Amino acid sequence: MLTRSLQHIVVVGGGTAGWMTCAALAHKLAALPVRITLIESDAIGTVGVGEATVPHIRFFNQTLGIDEAEFMRATKATFKLGIEFRDWARLGDSYIHPFGAYGEEIAGVDFHQHWLRLHRQGSGGDFSNYSLPVQAARRGRFAAPSQHSGSLLSTYSHAYQFDAGLYGRFLRTLAEARGVRRVEGRVVDVAQDSASGDILSVRLDSGEEIAGDLFVDCSGFRGLLIDQRLGSSFQSWAHWLPCDRAIAMPCEGRGPLTPYTRASARGAGWMWRIPLQHRVGNGHVYCSSFLSDGEAEQQLLAELEGRPLAEPNRLRFEAGKRAEQWKGNCVAIGLSSGFLEPLESTSIHLIQLGIGRLLELLPLHGWDPLDAAEFNRLMNLEYERIRDFLILHYCATQRDDTPFWDHCRTMELPASLGEKMELFRQRGVVAPYREGMFLEPSWLAVYLGQRIVPERHDLRSEAVNDAELEARLASMEAACRDAAKSLPSHQDYLAQIFALAEAA
């Protein structure tokens, strides 16, 4: 292991992962004598279809001092209040996984326990009616959350839908302005220390050799450093997440901009719809064991709402992750570290999470194997939690209309997910996380949205009599509905923030 202090960080690969990494490192290390170099080749394409995000991206941008209106204009972004899921539990079903809370606690008992009590009695209505972001999304309305903690308008968050290629370019401009050096070229060889195996330098097709102390592998599925040179094994989760193909194709948009992403289940997978300012992103994620590539493409073309704007972008992948995402003096960020398919917009979040963990454990004053061990522990934990949440969407189905859904409904589950599901089925309890990407409201959205209704509710709810409880819930539902109606349309709000930015 290298013993000298960290002086030069070399990032191999551009795209969203590479430029997010460089922008964050340049910001964090601005006052330190640490050089940052990114190597990428214009001849090597990037995946570039990660158009939907989760609310964590807002804090990444804010940390870098990025103005929201400027960012949204540059990336053709729209706002996102959640994800609509169609046809997942049964054909004809629809629910929205919102970025926000449901109802509010009553008498020290979680809201959903009170709702379950009324639901078992045949009242209470639709659980999603108690979510402001769901009510707003279904009406095509949006406004930024309130900063006043007591307001109903503070009970939700939001993310963005943007052009990932444009986001990479936006961050490249930012990173280069803060001192990051970009080198055009393709890595053709890697020099390693004979004793430790650490990477000493990389050689480009131009003959240039670039030495470094820490190497960040953002080379995508190839895993140029972490896999091909350091041999970090890949842990496949394809037996739980069987989709292994995707076809992406943008098209012209029709109608108003919806402030949510859509994921519609299909015979052997699902299709996404992501509305941007200048186009609609579409894709078909499917399992090649149940559907041919040609059939998948024809199904996607048949559902486009407007004229196609590009040729199909065909992707192959395997759900899983690297056993070690930090090995020696190399850290894998992005697709080189793992991939859990596009459902629930987790890819850019995992990039951001990896960057955050790296910044926390960055070996500025020397190398300690415990840093890599802690990084791997934390990333493994988050990957496994996200894995379980994604599997839930597939296994919590009553569909038996295709062999694919028969497989998903009957497959053996990881013990960690099976225990969570049983706890909820029996008692309505969501297994608690102190931190993580998907917390209680997210699990509730999918459990109840896909027809997993607990057998019992918390008996402490009985302390509130039926009439009072029904009145409280009716008031909450009306408040969410009225607040949603008071918001401007998504399109009007976009126009407002751009107008304000121009006037500033």
Closest CA relative to residue 2, chosen from 191, 226, 193: 193
Beta strands, E only, 42-93:
78-80, 82-86
Each residue of 358-401: pLDDT tens digit? Answer: 999 999 888 889 999 999 999 999 999 999 999 999 999 999 99
pLDDT above 90: percentage of residues in the chain: 91
CB 492 within 8 A of CB 143: no
Evaluate if residue 43 carries a pLDDT over 80.
no
Q: What is the mean pLDDT of residues 105-126?
A: 95
Evaluate if residue 49 carries a pLDDT over 60.
no
Q: CA torsion sign, 74 to 76 to 78 to 83?
A: negative
Domains located in the chain, CATH noted: 8-51+163-236+320-384 (3.50.50.60), 245-316 (no CATH)
Q: Is 485 a catalytic residue?
A: no
Query: Which helix (DSSP H) or strand (DSSP E) does residue 346 occupy?
Result: none
Each residue of 300-342: pLDDT tens digit? Answer: 999 999 999 999 999 999 999 999 999 999 999 999 999 999 9
Each residue of 200-249: pLDDT tens digit? Answer: 999 999 999 999 999 999 999 999 999 999 999 999 999 999 999 999 99
Token duo for residue 417: 């997910």
DSSP 206: T
Evaluate if residue 502 carries a pLDDT over 60.
yes
From the list 28, 80, 321, 327, the catalytic residue is 80
- If pLDDT is split at 50, 70 and 90, which confidence band does 23 have? very high
